[in-house]
Homo-oligomer: A and B are copies of this chain.
Amino acid sequence: MTDWSFIIGFMPKRVDHAARRQEILQAAVRVFARKGFASSRIEDVAAEAGIAKGSVYLSFDSRDALLQAAFESYAAGSAQLLASLEPGPALDRLATLVRRVVAMLAAHPDHARVLVDLWSAGPPLDMAAVYRDYREAIAGLLRQAREEGALRPGIDERHAVVIVAAIEGCLLQWLVDPELPLADLAAPIIEVCVEGVRS
């Protein structure tokens, strides 16, 4: 990587402020996952990121802003996941959604572990909105399934809560007991929640 700056003049010392912010956020997520937000010190995050304590404040306004950013990152991932469902029979799409959510959680255990702190954190974090979106997406799939005649009678939006619950409840049990094979739970979730509503 030749440094051409002597030709084009002065360059900002850090090309990408956003990248540094990402690095710190990821370090923070690792630290939060390891010791929980309540026990995580700014200094821990800085050390994990390999920078000095004060430097964290160049990218984040406060300790709480780190958790907020972790939330936003998670919420964005969730929204993206919900938006990425390909067309097809509704219950197949539902099964795919379940598989993907579980896979995402299992693939990013650090982010998943932070969830317990996001649940604890009050406003301005809006986890309620995240689950509302989940439920609405699944309720939409259930409506589509009914139109397809794939749903047994009596299934409505309240069952969307239960399907979200099955996923998040598995996640919860894994958070509390990491022995539990989270990745293997997609199948039984689908068997219960998808087959459990099929006509």
Binding site for B on A (CB under 8 A): 1-4, 6, 8-10, 12, 36, 38, 116-117, 119-120, 122, 127-128, 131-132, 135, 154-155, 158-159, 161-170, 172-173, 175-177, 179-180, 184-185, 187-189, 191-193, 195-197
CA distance in complex: A3, B12 (Å): 12
The interface residues of chain B lying within 8 Å CB-to-CB of A6 are 9
Tell me which of A169, A193, A195 has the highest count of chain B C-beta atoms within 10 A of its own C-beta: A169
- What is the chain B residue whose CB lies nearest that of A196? B196
Q: A3-B10, A165-B166, A168-B173 are in contact. List 5 more A-B contacts (CB 8 A).
A: A2-B8, A158-B188, A166-B169, A168-B172, A192-B193
For residue A135, give the distance in angstroms from its CB to the closest CB of chain B: 8
The interface residues of chain B lying within 8 Å CB-to-CB of A191 are 154-155, 159, 162, 196
CA distance in complex: A119, B3 (Å): 45
CB pairs A–B below 8 angstroms (23 shown): A4-B9, A116-B119, A119-B175, A128-B179, A131-B173, A158-B184, A161-B170, A162-B166, A162-B169, A162-B170, A162-B191, A162-B193, A163-B192, A164-B173, A165-B165, A165-B168, A165-B169, A165-B185, A169-B169, A191-B196, A192-B196, A195-B196, A196-B197
